Structure 1
Amino acid sequence: MPLFSRAQTEKARLYLTLLMLAGIFFGLVFSPPFLSVGLIGLVVLGWLDPISGINPRWRENIGAAVRSPFFWAMTSLYLLLLAGFWQTEDWNYYVERLRIKVPLLALPLIWPGLPDLSGREGGWLRGGFVLFLAGVLAAVMVNYALHFEEINLLIGQGQAMPVPRNHIRFSLLVALATLLSVDAYRREVFGWGRLWWLLGGGLFIGQHFLAVRSGLAGAYGGIGVLILALSWGAGRWWPAVVALVGLTLLPVLAYVAVPSFRTKIQYARYELFHRNPAEDTGDYSDEGRLTSLRLGLRVWQDNPWLGIGPGNLRQEMDARYAVALPGAEGKRPHNQFISALAGSGLLGGLVTLGAFLVLGWSGIRQRAPVFLAVWTVFLLSCLVENTLENSAGVSMFCVFLLLLFENGKAKENL
């Protein structure tokens, strides 16, 4: 006789899934070990079962999942990496890529076995994430107020505002929380009503104080897509026109009213128009980013069809940096699609672009406005960063898209 009944097992699976996802949220902001434990926990919960060995929900749903274009779009980004094994010379880097990107394969495979998070518990998860990011951002703003002059000086020198761990990842998380606040409002999470609008607005305003351009681009792009999607569903376009006009005016207002935002824009202008490229260093300056794109495109031009091999990209870029900028630290191209072109050629570029387009089209077909907005954040991030080349970026991409798509059945209506 089993120690637990089926009902007790599934209830425990639900609450453990919520716990693992909460751990992932915490880990994305503060702690890579929490992130790893959360991801491993999800794999165990989705695939295994204490009564029957293999999770019966997974066995029931996996067939439909693997027939979904959404599934193949996400997993193809990992299969593309596997397909490049025969070109590999730098095995240490290649194995590191396999480890970092494994959520692209593992999470879509096990997600059909996880509980449906479209109801009340899913609302708690979304609302909890918004509250968590709002709290962390409030602490960052307090620190900014306490060290105002010092932090503005750092931003003027090309540094980032102090935040937990990586400033780009944190800014992207704030953008995601801004969009999920709209989701929490529509789901009437905790019965808080328009308080979610206030929290979302506060997160969006805080994004300007952080002054991280990739996060700002994602937030503006995601909000713009969300406005259009909601207006499409409502069948009224004039509110969208008014909202989009207001959205385009906000950067002007932020430049006047937000010191850190103004300082960042002034620094970017100096970098792009006045700084000598010969003075570029290993720091993540704008000139350094442009150099990484230029060299990445040259790698692709020299290896147009199959690329240099995804496992060889680091050593090839290091070699090209040694010639172009002696003494500077080599960087991977700061664009996910150029990285795919350089590593896997035209084939890799088409697979990567196709995967993103299929994911976006899946959201349109399922009429999921918040999913589309979040997809936009990741698309724009991949245009200015190699987002899927680090564990935090891959984890964000997989977890939030899978969570909002809800096992391939997005339940929202436009």
Structure 2
Amino acid sequence: MWLTRVLACGTVALAPLEGYLLQVHGQLAKVMPAALIGVWVGSLVRQRRLPAPHPLHLVVALLAVVLLTTSAVHEAEPFTLEYLVRWVPFLVITVVLADVAAREVPVPALLAAAVAGAVVAAVGGLLSLVGGSLRATGPLEDPNDLAFFLVAALPLLVAIPAKGRSRVVLLLLGAVLVAGTAATFSRGGGIALACALVWLVARRGLPVRAVLVTAAVTGVAALVFAQAAHAELSRALQEKSHIAGTNADTRMLRWQAAARMLSDSPVLGVGPGGFRQQYAAASHNAEIDEQTPVAHNLFLEVAAELGLPGFALLIGFVAIGFVASERALRAGARREAVAVQAALIAVLIASIFLSEQYYLPLWSLVAIAVAIEQRTRKERGPCAFST
């Protein structure tokens, strides 16, 4: 059991640090998830059991069928196999995390691991500014990807038990995550963070005072940094304002291209990785210097590549996370459920501007939501879910 806990928490904690791991070895980021899957399969064999059935399993299985089908149709395309191999581990790890979190690994430990990994990533991003970067990157090459991990982790702080001085520690960790997000200059990350905080306050998961204190601490730190690095901050703001308009234009071009792909192939799409392959033709060579980009929109990219069935299953997957967390919330698991909901909202909002289906937060948050529901059902009985 201890090994399962270590591997599960390690998988979640190391997800935002993937870039650091890849610098050590190209396959190092895969070791922890692979070990977790292996230990999990071994435990199923030893215990002669299967995971408790849940609608999550059906949606994941159907999504796998769609992936395999469209991959078979588009097997000759250059990116199909590469992107199929990227998809499958996330489907498997979702089922694994949902099962181990419902049975062996405490949910607060997983949430704390996600926060810990994000805090280290935020610190790395802030240190990258000292190293000369104009926008925080740290363990991830793209500042927007770093912001995605940070805003997904920040709401989870409210689910970590804290008393006395430990509350101050959580506020400081929150300030680090906010500062790291701000240092990425990611507009999508900022919008996602704002939406998550509004949800937490509206559902009484976070006192307004805590938001104000965190904002004040972050603001003071920002003022100190601005005074100490005025020239660098000015250059960063100028760079961001320069590329902002270009980013908006290119995103619109890519979204339109994705819509054309979906219109042309609504049933099976253009296959995993097909957006990159088909973009030049679908956009009529709108970007001469970028022939194989991503769509910068998770939903449109999945719809274009997997067709309407794959898109519907993705929406169903997300819906399962919200339904499971809401059922757990109404049964009494308020703090954890609201935190996961807010984190999911942050992930979904950020994914409007980014293609983040190949990062763990979307998958792990839905898995944890299902685990919270199943744990609550065991602890409080089916009657708690009847109203």
So what's the TM-score if we normalise by structure 1?
A: 0.71
Q: 2:148 aligned with 1:172, yes or no?
A: yes
Query: Structure 1 pair 270/25, CA: closer, same or farther in 2 (3 Å)?
Result: closer
Q: For residue 88 of structure 1, report the CA deviation from its aligned partner.
A: 0.9
Find the counterpart in structure 2 of residue 27 from structure 1.
Answer: 18
Contact 1:226 1:370 in 2 (8 A): yes
Map 1:291-306 → 2, pairs under 5 A: 291-306=253-268
Between the aligned partners of 2:285 and 2:325, the Cα distance in structure 1 is 44
Map 1:292-371 → 2, pairs under 5 A: 292-310=254-272, 312-321=274-283, 323-367=285-329, 368-371=337-340
Find the counterpart in structure 1 of residue 384 from structure 2.
Answer: none
Find the counterpart in structure 2 of residue 72 from structure 1.
Answer: 58
Map 1:4-403 → 2, pairs under 5 A: 10-24=1-15, 26-27=17-18, 30-31=21-22, 33-49=27-43, 54-56=45-47, 59-62=48-51, 64-65=52-53, 68-111=54-97, 114=100, 116=103, 119=106, 122-145=107-130, 147=132, 151-152=133-134, 160-166=135-141, 167-184=143-160, 187-188=161-162, 192-230=166-204, 270-271=242-243, 285-310=247-272, 312-321=274-283, 323-367=285-329, 368-388=337-357, 390=358, 393=359, 395-403=360-368
Between the aligned partners of 1:141 and 1:312, the Cα distance in structure 2 is 35
Find the counterpart in structure 1 of residue 383 from structure 2.
Answer: none
Q: For residue 324 of structure 1, report the CA deviation from its aligned partner.
A: 2.9
Greater alpha carbon shift after TM alignment, 175-184 vs 24-33: 24-33
Q: What CA deviation, in whole Å up to 9, does each residue of 1:150-181 have, x standing for no partner?
A: x44xxxxxxx4342233233222222332222
Query: Structure 1 pair 178/268, CA: closer, same or farther in 2 (3 Å)?
Result: same
Greater alpha carbon shift after TM alignment, 313-322 vs 25-34: 25-34
Q: What CA deviation, in whole Å up to 9, does each residue of 1:358-381 have, x standing for no partner?
A: 322222222211111121122123
Find the structure with the greater CA-based Rg.
1
Contact 1:209 1:261 in 2 (8 A): no
Between the aligned partners of 2:258 and 2:65, the Cα distance in structure 1 is 22
Gaps of 5+ in 1: 1-9, 153-159, 276-284
Aligned residues: 356
Q: For residue 99 of structure 1, report the CA deviation from its aligned partner.
A: 0.8
Between the aligned partners of 2:277 and 2:267, the Cα distance in structure 1 is 19
Query: Structure 1 pair 34/404, CA: closer, same or farther in 2 (3 Å)?
Result: farther
Q: Secondary structure of 2:352's partner?
A: helix
Between the aligned partners of 2:16 and 2:344, the Cα distance in structure 1 is 18
Q: Quote the RMSD (CA, aligned, Å).
A: 3.8
Between the aligned partners of 2:129 and 2:244, the Cα distance in structure 1 is 27
Query: Structure 1 pair 261/348, CA: closer, same or farther in 2 (3 Å)?
Result: farther
Between the aligned partners of 2:164 and 2:60, the Cα distance in structure 1 is 32
Contact 1:182 1:197 in 2 (8 A): no
- 2:92 partner amino acid: A
Q: 2:374 aligned with 1:409, yes or no?
A: yes
Contact 2:251 2:295 in 1 (8 A): yes
Between the aligned partners of 2:343 and 2:144, the Cα distance in structure 1 is 16
Between the aligned partners of 1:333 and 1:347, the Cα distance in structure 2 is 19
Between the aligned partners of 1:358 and 1:89, the Cα distance in structure 2 is 31
Query: Structure 1 pair 328/321, CA: closer, same or farther in 2 (3 Å)?
Result: farther
Gaps of 5+ in 2: 330-336, 381-387
Contact 2:136 2:184 in 1 (8 A): yes
Contact 1:46 1:112 in 2 (8 A): no
Query: Structure 1 pair 305/15, CA: closer, same or farther in 2 (3 Å)?
Result: closer
Q: Secondary structure of 2:27's partner?
A: helix
Between the aligned partners of 1:267 and 1:229, the Cα distance in structure 2 is 38
- 1:409 partner amino acid: Q
Between the aligned partners of 1:266 and 1:301, the Cα distance in structure 2 is 38
Contact 2:154 2:177 in 1 (8 A): yes
- 1:210 partner amino acid: T
Between the aligned partners of 1:40 and 1:298, the Cα distance in structure 2 is 37
Q: Secondary structure of 2:203's partner?
A: helix
Q: Secondary structure of 2:291's partner?
A: coil
